[in-house]
């Protein structure tokens, strides 16, 4: 009996020791876990602080380059449209509504007879193609003097002269002279006397011809 009680008491004491050991083990496990958890959190905090310190201590990177300026395209402005000239519209003329004057009745009397038309003027005579005759167109036809030397030497002959009168009615010049029967050495004497005679003639403006007959027993 005593052994039985002793054995039972030992059994209970062994159970208590086992329970205490388990409790101690659990306590140490919890303590270790708590320590490990606390150390781990401290380590994480320290690592975070180191990372933050390292990140803060590094110099900031250079700012990015500014973007290139935006080139704005200049769009040329369209020229304003040229105003088209307005077409000219003439004003509308309103006819006068005034009454037209009454027409005067024409008389029925016969008109006076018209005089006959005058006859047409005669056509002008054609201009002569050559010099005119001095006898029919000039006055004061004086005969020239007979050259003295030619008279002494018995020189006779005919002299045809073409001469001109100006618009003033005065002798202008001798155009040509044609000698017949008069030697060349005497012709200047006849020309001098004929020129003196022509200055006394009265002729209209134009060209004329006259023939002088120099003979001893006849007038020139």
Helix (H, G, I), strand (E, B) or coil at 46: helix
- 66 phi/psi in degrees, rounded to 5: -65, 145
The predicted-structure confidence for 165-206, as pLDDT tens digits, reads as follows 999 989 999 999 999 999 999 999 999 999 999 999 999 999
What per-residue string of b and e applies to 137-152 under the rule 16 or more CB within 10 Å gives b? ebeeeeebebbeebee
pLDDT at 202: 93
Helix (H) or strand (E) segment spanning residue 51: helix 2-57
User: Is the whole-model pTM more than 0.75?
Assistant: no
Domains for the chain: give ranges and CATH numbers. Answer: 15-51 (no CATH), 132-214 (3.30.2420.10)
Higher pLDDT, 130 or 44: 130
Cα separation, 132 vs 207, whole angstroms: 6
Tokens in use for 202?
């009265």
pLDDT at 28: 80
């Amino acid at each position: 009996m005593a052994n039985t009680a002793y054995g039972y008491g030992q059994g209970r004491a062994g159970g208590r020791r086992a329970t205490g050991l388990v409790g101690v083990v659990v306590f140490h496990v919890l303590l270790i876990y708590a320590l490990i958890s606390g150390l781990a959190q401290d380590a994480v905090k320290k690592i975070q602080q180191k990372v933050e310190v390292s990140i803060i201590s590094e110099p900031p990177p250079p700012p990015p380059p500014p973007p290139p300026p935006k080139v704005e395209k200049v769009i040329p402005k369209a020229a304003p449209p040229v105003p088209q000239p307005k077409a000219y519209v003439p004003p509308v003329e309103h006819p006068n509504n005034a009454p037209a004057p009454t027409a005067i009745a024409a008389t029925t009397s016969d008109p006076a007879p018209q005089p006959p038309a005058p006859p047409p003027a005669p056509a002008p005579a054609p201009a002569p193609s050559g010099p005119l005759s001095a006898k029919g167109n000039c006055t004061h036809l004086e005969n020239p003097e007979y050259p003295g030397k030619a008279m002494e030497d018995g020189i006779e002959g005919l002299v045809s002269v073409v001469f001109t009168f100006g618009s003033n009615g005065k002798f202008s010049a001798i155009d040509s002279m044609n000698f017949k029967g008069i030697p060349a050495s005497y012709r200047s004497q006849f020309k001098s006397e004929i020129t003196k005679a022509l200055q006394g003639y009265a002729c209209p403006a134009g060209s004329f011809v006259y023939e002088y007959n120099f003979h001893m027993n006849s007038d020139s």
